Amino acid sequence: MAKPTEIELPDGTRIPILYEDRVVMALDKPPGWILGPDDWEHTLRNLPLALQSSIHAGDYWARSRNLRFLKHVHRLDAGTSGILLCSKSQGAIEPLSRLFAERKVSKRYLAVTDGVPKKTEWSCDHPLGPDPREAGRHMMDSKAGKEAHTDFRILATRPHTALVEARPLTGRTHQIRLHLMASCTPVQGDELYATPHPEGMALRSIGLEYRDPFTGKPVRIRAPVAEFCRRHGFAVPAEIEDRKKPSPEAGKPALGGRSGAARALGPKPSEGSAGAPSNPKPTESGE
C-alpha cells in the first residue's frame, strides 16, 4: 500500500507532504499554525506538538514510514503558509540547520502587498532587530540591527495591490514583512505591521533549494501557488508556473502525490529515523 502523501491531524487539518527523502520531509504548512512554544497552554494550533502527538499515537501516515521523529529546522510565522522543512532524525537536525545558518539554502516566497511598489525589481538591505517598545515586534535598526538582504520582483499588479516574489538572502525574523513595509507596501493582512485581512496574511513560501548535507545531491522543493494566487485575485504568472514541478534531481514523483510533490531516497543519517526528540532552536526563516 502506498504511503500517504498528506498528514491528517485529529482536528481534520490536512497537511500535504511536498517532498520526502531519507533525511527530510517537507510539509505545506497551513496558515494559522505556530511552531512554538512547546506548550499546549499557549495555543491549540501548535504544529510541532500536533505532529509529535500524531506520531506517538501511531497514526498511519507516520506508522507506514516507521517514523518516530519529525522536527522543523527553520521557522515560518504563524500566518505564513508553504514549505516547512523537517528533519526525520535527531542526527540530521544540526547539518540541516547549518545549511540555513550558512546561507546555503535558496528561498523563494510570494507576497501580496497593500499598494503597488514603485519599482518592478529592487533590493532592501535595512538591518533588522527586536523592537524594544513591544515584545514580538521587530524593526529596522541601522545601529544595533543584524544584516538583512531581500531581493524583490513584481510579478503582477491590480489596482492598489501587487503580487511580489521575494528572495531573502539572510534569515532574520519578519524580514520580508519589514522590508516590504520599508517600501510603503506591507504584506496584505499583516496584522502586526499593517491591517488585518479576512483572508489572513498573504505570504507563502514556494521554493527551497539546497544540497543534501549527506550526499551532496541538489534538492529542489516547490509548493503549489495556484490556490494562493486565485484567493488573492491573481492568475498564476507564467514565470513561476513551472516552479510547481520538481526538478529531475529531486527524484521521482511520490505515488498519489499532488503537483510539486517528490520523493528522492538517499542514505540515512547516522542516527536513523528513530532518534529521541529534542528541542534545538530552529534557524530563523527570513520572513
Please say whether the beta carbons of 29 and 109 come within 8 A.
no
**Residue 272 three-state SS:** helix
Does the bond joining 31 to the residue before it have cis omega, within 30 degrees of 0? no
Q: What contacts 93, CB < 8 A, 6 or more positions away?
A: 71, 73, 87, 278, 280
Q: Which residues contact 129 (CB under 8 A, 6 or more apart)?
A: 138, 139, 141, 144, 145, 146
Q: Which residues of 106-144 are buried (b: 16+ CB within 10 A; e: fewer)?
A: ebbbbbbbbebbeeeeeebebbbbbeeeeeeebbbbeee
Cβ count within 10 A of residue 148 = 26
Q: CA–CA separation, 61 vs 25, rounded Å?
A: 12
Q: Phi and psi of 197, rounded to 5°? A: -135, 145
DSSP-derived 3-state class of residue 262: strand
| pLDDT for position 241 | 65
Distance set, CA 104 to CA 95, 97, 99, 209, 213 (Å):
11, 10, 5, 8, 10
What is the mean pLDDT, run by run of 10 residues, along the chain of 287 residues? 90 95 97 75 77 94 96 95 98 97 97 97 98 94 96 97 98 97 97 92 98 97 97 91 43 35 38 40 61
Which structural domains are found in the chain, ordered by start?
A: 6-274 (3.30.2350.10)
Element (H, E) at 228: helix 226-231
Cα(222)–Cα(132) distance, integer angstroms = 36
Distance CA 201, CA 97 (A): 26
